[in-house]
Amino acid sequence: MNVLVTGGSGQLGRSIMDVAEYSGHRFIYTYMCSQSHEGMVHLDITDPEEVNQAMDDYGIDVIVNCAGYTDVERAESEEDKVFKVNAEAVDVLAGAAKARGALLIHISTDYIFDGTRSEPYSEDAEASPLGVYGRSKLAGELAVRASGARYMIIRTSWLYSRHGKNFVKTILKKSEEQPLLKVVSDQVGTPTYAGDLAEFILTLLEPENLEKTGTYNYANEGVCSWYDLACEVCEMSGNLCEVVPCETGEYPVKAARPHYSVLNKSKVKKTFGIEIPYWKDSLRHCMSEIATSLRSSQ
C-alpha cells in the first residue's frame, strides 16, 4: 500500500519512519514548514489542490495524519492559525480520502476532555475541551466523522520521543543544568512513547485491521502526574536534581489544562488484540535512545 504520512518532521511522523524502515508498504512523508527535510516532500495540507494532486501522484491508499498545531499555550493567541491546521486541513484530508476510498488515520488528543472526571475517559465520553487547542482538535474529529470517509481516530496523550521538543527532553536538559525544578503535580494523565504509538499504527495497516474503523484511545499503561514523570526522568538519567511538586495555579499560563485526562484503552486492546507497554518501561527505553543519540552526536 501507499501511505501518506503528514507531519513527517514531527515526533510521531519521525517515529513512524523509524519503525517502518522494513515495512512492505511505501511511505511518503510530508512536511508543511518552510525548512526542508531530507527524505520528505513539502505538502500544504490546507490546500485542497495540493492534497488532491499528491493523492493522485502517489496513488495513496492510506493517510496517517500526524500533522498538527500542538503548542497549547501559544494556541490561545493564534486561534485562526490553530483551527486552520487542526480542523480545516483535516477536513481537506478527509475529503480527499473520501473521494478515493482511502483510509484516514487521524491522530487526536486527550485535551478534548475537561479533566473533571476521576475515572479514565472512554471513546464515547462527552468532549468538553478547555482551550483553543482542545477545541480545534475536537473540530478536526467532527470533520472526519462528517466527511463520510473511512477513518480511524486515535486519541493519545502526553507524547514524547527522542525526536523534537517534548517534556521528557526538556526535563532531561534542565535537570543537567539546574539544582532544583518545580513541576506541577495536580495534572494527571499517561505519558505515551511515540515509538509505541508508531508501532501500533503499523498494525492498523495489516489487512485484517483495515476495516476496523472508528475512534480509539491509545496511550501507554499506567497513570502519573507531570511531577512523577519528571522524577522518573531524573532518576533514570542519574541527574542529581531536586524535583519539587507544585500546583498549576502557581504558574501564570493562558491555556487551561485538564487536571485528569487518563484514557480508557479497553476498546483498542480488545479490538486489535494488543498489549500496551507500561509507561515507565517505555520511558526507560526512550531514555536509552536519547543517550545513544547524544553519544553519537558528540
Instruction: Please give the positions annotated as active site.
Output: 133
d(CA 255, CA 82): 13
- β-strand 62-65 against 103-109: which pairing, if any? parallel
3-state secondary structure of 179: coil
Q: What is the DSSP string of 106-129?
A: EEEEGGGS-S--SSPBPTTSPP--
d(CA 193, CA 69): 19
- The residues that bridge with 221 in the sheet, in sequence order, are 278
d(CA 134, CA 115): 12
d(CA 79, CA 14): 26
